[in-house]
Amino acid sequence: ITLADTFIIVHFQFRKIFSLFVVNPGFLSSKVHCYLILANGRKVQMTKMFLKKPSQITIGFGLRRLLQTSTVVYSNDEREYLHKSKIPTYHFQASLPRLPIPELDKSCQRYLNAQLPLLSDAQHKELQKVVGEFQNGQGKDLQKELVETDKKAKDTNYVSDLWFDMYLKDRRPVVLTHNPFITFNDDPRAEYNTQLIRASNMLISSVRFMKTLRDEKLEPEVFHLNPAKSNTKTFRTVTSLLPSSLSWYGAYLFKAFPLDMSQYKNLFNSCRVPRPERDELISDPNSKHILVMRKGHFYIFDMLDKDGNIIPETEVLSHLKYILEDPTPAPEFPVSVLTTEYRDVWTRARVQLINADPRNESRLRVLEKAIFALCLDDDQPTEPNGISRKFLFGDGVNRWFDKSFQLIISKGGTAAVNFEHSWGDGVAVLRYFKEVFSDSIQNSRVSPDTRPSEKVNSEKRVQRLDFRLDPFIKETITKAKQRFDDATSSLDIHHLQYSKMTKKDLKNAKLSPDSVMQLAIQLAHYQMYGENVGTYESCSTSAFKKGRTETVRPCTSATKSMCENLYGKTKKATSAAELMEGLRNCTTVHNQLTKEAAMGQGFDRHLFCLKNLGEKNGLSMPMFAHPAYANINHIILSTSTLTDPSVLIGGFAAVTSDGFGIG
């Protein structure tokens, strides 16, 4: 135990668990008197503490009425943080490279290439003429203006603000349109998978993650090209000594690439709030409370004490147990269902909710500023399709879909995250997901033997938030629930696990697993419908400052050729060698598109910004009014992928009514 630490000492006496005791010794001499400060403020004198070595102490306890005790000792930092990074969390942020604006000619050519599998030869030839006119006319002026505007915004990039607008101005419901879900694997210890124990451990680990992030002790997000050489103590020492303005360049010398972390600041204590025309993202990093939902009711309690420290795990256990045992029936008119509505409907309802009773506004603010939402469900899905339905949308009652993210835990302890998409992409959420999964298992604070605190009155500490509703709000809630039920009942969800081929098999054959998966999707759709359609795959651009995503277009001339050869009306007899050649060609093309997208050289975001700039200037632009542009952006196959040992299932709904969401 180092002398610089503040110690948290937890005493166990037989079956009774005592509160946490904070000891802050002043090591000014070899002998000092010290006190344990109890939760109620009472002091209990300890025996003398003897300094044995500069780096160690021996503590002799003589606490009256605390006989035959065992002691577990945590340093304060160990209790409050996941880890303490040598490199400050945002150390690389200032020197991250800026997202490049592609050359207009290249974006136009990439756009035409993406249209090849979707159009006939005659249609494509006609489109080439329209694109050429834009490229040599309006496009040149818009490109120049875009470049000049970008030069004035050094702290962001040319896409970021417009991308926020795209999400926040979308008037469709966030559920089934934007919010995805990711399901955790179970805790490998079956006895820890009860709802109460897992919720307690994951809540504590989540707040530990939050504090580690807030105090900039979280290890920065870095992609190591060769981890054996760069993910080292030397790398951390050298880059931490460099000023932030140069730190990225130092990392680059190690062939390590720091990633943008600007989205992390909206991970906690933030919420999307419905507004006319454009929603608002609000955040309050000073809030200390967690929002817990059960049966559509809202409960809050502080997870941090007045000094900003995490409350004892026995108190967390006590509060969650109190909530789970609350016999109050589900509300007849659950306010939470309003977050499933079209945004304009929800905007009007929110105003009316505040007008119905001024206290409703403060209650809404409390919900919106909570650290995050913990949703405790009363049922337990057992098969993949049921798990997907539960965590993608559930019953619409025990959710607040506008929160930055919701940690959902079912009756049997299955856990998942559902997150609102406007504030960020999967980068920050997946980091949170992995860290919390690992920490809640490796550093469990609550075990099956842990008992709730006898020192805390959860009935007083936990507050239930009830809303006053008028007839208009009640009617709006009823309609919202009916619309939600209709929308979700019409959604088909199917889970497929294919085990006859692995990533390793594909890599051994020098094929990209992602490209083969994308080809399989194209083949399946073509076999069913006989056509190639607009397809989307998300690619992160987090290697750049405030990078979000770029689109990869997996439907290519290479995949079209494979589809026609195998399932076309004039399908060809294809040998194994020809099939392998086709597979490798698909991989080559797909890998190139992915590389271009990740390096900020895709065409979708570039054309999106030029289109928005032209509309702002009041221009009529034939290229963007052309049916081919609408067709390629009517996404029938929306795809995304992530992989990690902590992930069981993930997914999202289709982005169009006649489409598929595949992930």
- Enumerate the active-site residues: 421
For the chain, the first-to-last Cα distance in angstroms comes to 47
HEC string of 466-491? CCCCCHHHHHHHHHHHHHHHHHHHCC
Q: How many C-beta atoms lie closer than 10 Å to residue 154's C-beta?
A: 9
Structural tokens at position 582: 């086709």
Q: How many C-beta atoms lie closer than 10 Å to residue 543's C-beta?
A: 17
Q: Give me the residue label for tokens 């966030």.
A: 174
How many angstroms separate the CA atoms of 518 and 563, rounded?
A: 12
Which of these, 210, 351, 176, lies nearest to 286 by C-alpha position? 210
Structural tokens at position 475: 């009617």
How many angstroms separate the CA atoms of 391 and 417, rounded?
A: 7
- Using a 10 angstrom Cβ sphere, with 0-12 exposed, 13-18 middle and 19 or more buried, the burial of residue 155 is exposed
Which of these, 387, 439, 426, lies nearest to 408 by C-alpha position? 387
Contacts 24+ apart (CB under 8 A), 253-256: 254/229, 254/230, 255/224, 255/225, 255/226, 255/229, 255/230, 256/222, 256/223, 256/224, 256/225, 256/230, 256/231
How many angstroms separate the CA atoms of 411 and 377, rounded?
A: 6
How many angstroms separate the CA atoms of 331 and 466, rounded?
A: 10
CA 384 to chain centre: 21
Q: Give me the residue label for tokens 């940690």.
A: 407
- The residues, ordered by sequence, that sit 6+ positions from 471 with a Cβ below 8 Å of its Cβ are none
- DSSP annotation of 267: S
Buried b (16+ CB within 10 A) or exposed e, 593-608: bbebbbbbbbbbbbbb
Structural tokens at position 482: 């009916």
Judge whether 635 and 661 are in contact, CB under 8 Å: no
How many angstroms separate the CA atoms of 103 and 185, rounded?
A: 44
Structural tokens at position 235: 């790398």
Buried b (16+ CB within 10 A) or exposed e, 425-462: bbbbbbbbbebbbebbbeebbbeeebebbebbebeeeb
How many angstroms separate the CA atoms of 529 and 525, rounded?
A: 6
How many angstroms separate the CA atoms of 272 and 405, rounded?
A: 10
How many angstroms separate the CA atoms of 350 and 473, rounded?
A: 9
How many angstroms separate the CA atoms of 47 and 44, rounded?
A: 10
- State the number of CA atoms in the 13 A half-sphere of 271 facing the CB: 23
